[in-house]
């Protein structure tokens, strides 16, 4: 069984996203440790990419800052190794197919398994083209996480049936970013997912407030938050860990 199930063992999962190397690797590690200490159940780690097509301006900015600071895929791997000396919650990478291709897919996924990364999310990888990655992921017991969006429609059941780890439910059309309200019929999407799989699903894109996290976790198995956390890192820089911890605590508490 996937290690990712541990994130959902104790109820609704809170899943924060961090761009590795923004503003620097030491701050990234401190912020992630603060998040875990304050209730984060699974950590989504963004490997910076120069053209992150699924990301809004906040996370695009984090990617550019990290790349300007000299982050590389190998440095991200080293960051994870350091975290794994004391952090036990599941980790998943969020990056783009080109990052994996350019590193060498087998070498990248093999390294994920060796350093304790439990899954990868590739938002630009169409479901119909996932097999070349999926076979390698299966070989090394790394889950290739599926995303289901409002536009998935008649493909939801098909994607759900083959899902592993957890399903990333995209709350609304467009790129990542804070939204004042989410109007997608998520209950219908989650109902269809649950009719086709026992793999847990968590909702992301646009969640920033405790009441939103509560609402999304009532519908699904968890809530994913990225841009709101990146804003704290952008605002507080090297001192962000304390603020990230407080924020995670408030979001997780709302979901209990």
With vertex at residue 147, the alpha carbon angle to CA 185 and CA 189, rounded to the nearest 5 degrees, is 20
Q: Cβ distance 169 to 159 under 8 Å? A: no
What are the sequence ranges of the domains in the chain? 3-255
Tens digit of pLDDT for each residue in 74-89? 999 999 999 999 999 9
pLDDT at residue 85 in the model: 98
Per DSSP, which regions of the chain are E strands? 13-19, 43-46, 91-94, 119-121, 143-148, 167-170, 201-204, 222-225
Q: Cβ distance 170 to 147 under 8 Å? A: yes
Q: Which residues pair with 204 in a beta bridge?
A: 170
Cα separation, 203 vs 219, whole angstroms: 9
C-alpha dihedral sign at 229, 235, 241, 242? negative
Taking 70 as the threshold, does the pLDDT of residue 12 lie above it?
Answer: yes
Cα separation, 120 vs 123, whole angstroms: 10
Q: Which residues pair with 147 in a beta bridge?
A: 168
Overall pTM > 0.85:
yes
Domain 3-255 CATH assignment equals 3.50.50.60: no
Taking 70 as the threshold, does the pLDDT of residue 52 lie above it?
Answer: no
Tens digit of pLDDT for each residue in 157-194? 999 999 999 999 998 654 444 434 444 689 999 999 99
Q: Report helix angle 131-140 to 105-115, nearest 10.
A: 30
What mean pLDDT is predicted for residues 124-140? Answer: 93
Radius of gyration (Cα) for the chain, nearest Å? 17
Residue 239 DSSP code = G
Tokens found for residue 138? 């299966």
Residue 237 DSSP code = G
């Amino acid at each position: 069984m996937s290690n990712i199930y541990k994130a959902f063992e104790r109820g609704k999962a809170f899943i924060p996203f961090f761009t590795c190397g923004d503003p620097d690797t030491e701050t990234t590690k401190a912020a992630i440790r603060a998040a875990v200490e304050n209730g984060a159940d699974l950590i989504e780690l963004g490997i910076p990419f120069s053209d992150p097509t699924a990301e809004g301006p906040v996370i695009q900015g984090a990617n550019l800052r990290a790349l300007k600071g000299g982050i590389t895929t190998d440095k991200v791997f080293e960051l994870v190794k350091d975290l794994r000396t004391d952090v036990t919650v599941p980790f998943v990478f969020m990056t783009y197919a080109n990052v994996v291709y350019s590193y060498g897919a087998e070498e990248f996924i093999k390294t994920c398994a060796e350093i304790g990364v439990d899954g990868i999310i590739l938002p630009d990888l169409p479901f119909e083209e996932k097999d070349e990655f999926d076979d390698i992921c299966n070989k090394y017991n790394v889950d290739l996480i599926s995303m289901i969006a409002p536009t998935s429609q008649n493909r939801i059941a098909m994607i759900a049936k083959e899902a592993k780890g957890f399903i990333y439910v995209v709350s609304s059309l467009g790129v990542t970013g804070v939204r004042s309200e989410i109007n997608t019929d998520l209950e219908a999407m989650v109902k269809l997912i649950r009719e086709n799989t026992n793999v847990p699903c968590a909702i992301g894109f646009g969640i920033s407030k405790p009441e939103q996290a509560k609402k999304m976790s009532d519908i699904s198995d968890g809530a994913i938050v990225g841009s709101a956390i990146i804003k704290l890192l952008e605002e507080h820089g090297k001192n962000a860990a304390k603020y990230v911890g407080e924020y995670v605590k408030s979001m997780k508490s709302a979901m209990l």
